[in-house]
Every structure is written in C-alpha cells, then in structure tokens.
Structure 1
Amino acid sequence: MSFTYYITPQQYAEANKNGVSPKTLEQRVRGRAWPIEKAIATPPRIRKSFGKWTKIANENGIKSGTFRRRVNVYGWDLERAATQPLFDASKHMKKVSEGNRVYPKHVIELAEKNGISYSTFLSRTSRGWSVEEASTRRIMTFTKSGQVGKNASYWSKDKEITKAAKCS
C-alpha cells in the first residue's frame, strides 16, 4: 500500500471506467490519503434525489435532515418518511410514567385533595401505612402535634413512673 500522490493518465482512465471522476480521484488520493488502488476501485456513492417527497415532508413539519435520516439510516420508504408525524417525547414519557405507576392515579389525587403531598404520601406508605390511611389522614398542624406530644410522650410517662413508685 503506497501513498504516492502522482496519478498517472492510465490510472485516471481506469478510474473513469469504474465511474470515478478525476476530481473525486484526486480528492480521495491527495485530500483523504486513500491508496490509489482503493481510490480507483471504489465506485462513488450514488446520491438519492427525493424530489417531491422532501417538499411533502416540509409541508408536514418534518425537516429535510430528519426525512433523509429516516430513509437512509432507518430504511423507511419515502412515503412513510415524509408523512409520519414526528415523535412527541413528552407524550411518550407520560405514557411510560403511567405504565410504571405503583399507586393508582385516583389515590394520588385523593391525597392531594386532602392536602397531602406526593412525597408525604410515599413516606407514609414506606413506613407501613395503608394506602387508604396515607391518602386520607390529614397532616397535623404544629399546634395539634404539640398537644399530642405533651399528652402522650415524656410528661405522661414521668407521671406514671412517679405513681408506680408511690404505690410500691
């Protein structure tokens, strides 16, 4: 494999027989450093003319690059590539999220209606609450939680311990 940059008239003639123009041959050998044998033997790519289909695709809101990718890369036929609407990613993501849903949508809406955020609902269910209770039991206000805490925790236990010590 040699990378000589001189192209003989015979090589030009041989390339012409294979459908390679002199300009393409020079570009391959001198610009891209192809070996002369490969540059002569490799036929040029045939560019497709899409004509009216490109116009139809543009009328349908499909850019020409997308249209060409559909035809050349994905192998779609011209009519399908020009007429099938573009993929809407937001609709697809919504559909996927609905399919992956753990709790029914009406339960989440019920929780939100009762003033319970989604994260609170999830934390409640992860702590072992039933779905119904996690979505319907309202969140305690600071005042209410203080009252419950005062009545149930440290102070009431301390009183019980004192009463038990007096009885024994």
Structure 2
Amino acid sequence: MSRAADGPHPHPLTDHPMARSVLYLRLGRAHAALGEELSCSRALAAAEHQLGAPTAEPAPTWCVWMSPSDLAVDSGRCLLDLGHRRSAHQLTQDGTKVLPVARTKTKAVFLAYEAEEYLRDGEYDRAATTATQALTMANRIGAPRCVELVHGLLPGFAGHTSAEGVGELLELARAS
C-alpha cells in the first residue's frame, strides 16, 4: 500500500503534541498574515488542543519552550493582524503575565510585541512605557533580539515625542 493510502506516517520530530501545537500556531500566524480569519481560527484551536493533549513521551528539544503563555501571545499577534485589537491586547497581556520567571528573555520579547500592538493603535504613551520595560529588561539580561525589536519600533514614535514616556524610551534606546 502507498503512503497516501496508509495516511500520514509519524515523524519523531513532529508527532509529539507539543510539536504539533507549535506547527499549528505557526500555520495560524501565516493565515493571519494573509487575512484568512477562519483558517487562522481553526489552526489556533488545533494548536490549543494539541498543547493540552496528554502524552508520556518527552517533547522534542526544538519545542520544549512551548507553553500556554506562548500560545496566548502568538494568538494575540494573530488577532492583531486580523484587526481584533482588543482581544489581541488581552491575550498578549495574559500570556505575558503568566510567563515563568525563568523565561525573562521571552518576557522581554513579549513586552516588545505588546508595545508594537499599542503603537499600531496609536497609544503612544502605553507603547513607550511597555517598550521601555522591554528594553530595560533586555539590556539587563543581554537579549540582543529584544533590543533589536524595540529599536525597530522607534520610527513609529516619530512626531509623538510629547507623549508620556516617549522621551525616556528614546533616551534609553540611544544608550543601548
């Protein structure tokens, strides 16, 4: 019998529920970027289902970081891409709040994502405050990806230097 007739064959790197959760989450992000809301919703639901699926096997090392926090924040980014700003903010904040302390670098990245969301909404003061938190944390722990993410947001603050916290953010960014 052919492989197609037998159905999919498990692969050790992608057969684990946590691995499938990550892959469905990435699929959801792709659908969101394309504006495909229904397909995105289905992929996010599958990611959530897989993340909660019981298994006795350890997750592959490439996806052991996956957690409900990661699912919430990336789902929020999907909703943001689809124009559901309020739900996006809530998921991102919820995911960031429950992230374990041991994942400080990820928290800094999540805060940068949250700042980007506020910036897109024109909430320059909240964006600046959140970006400052992210940049401060990233500088403290040596997280260059996060520093780069925050620096990438700076052009969005052009013309809004009078908003609360923007001056402080720009000063901190110049020093880092």
Is the shorter-chain TM-score for this pair beyond 0.5, marking a shared fold?
A: no
TM-score (norm 2): 0.23
The structure where helix makes up a greater share of residues is: 2
TM-score normalised to structure 1 length: 0.23
Task: Kindly indicate whether structure 1 or structure 2 has the higher relative contact order, using CA contacts under 8 Å at least 6 residues apart.
Answer: 2
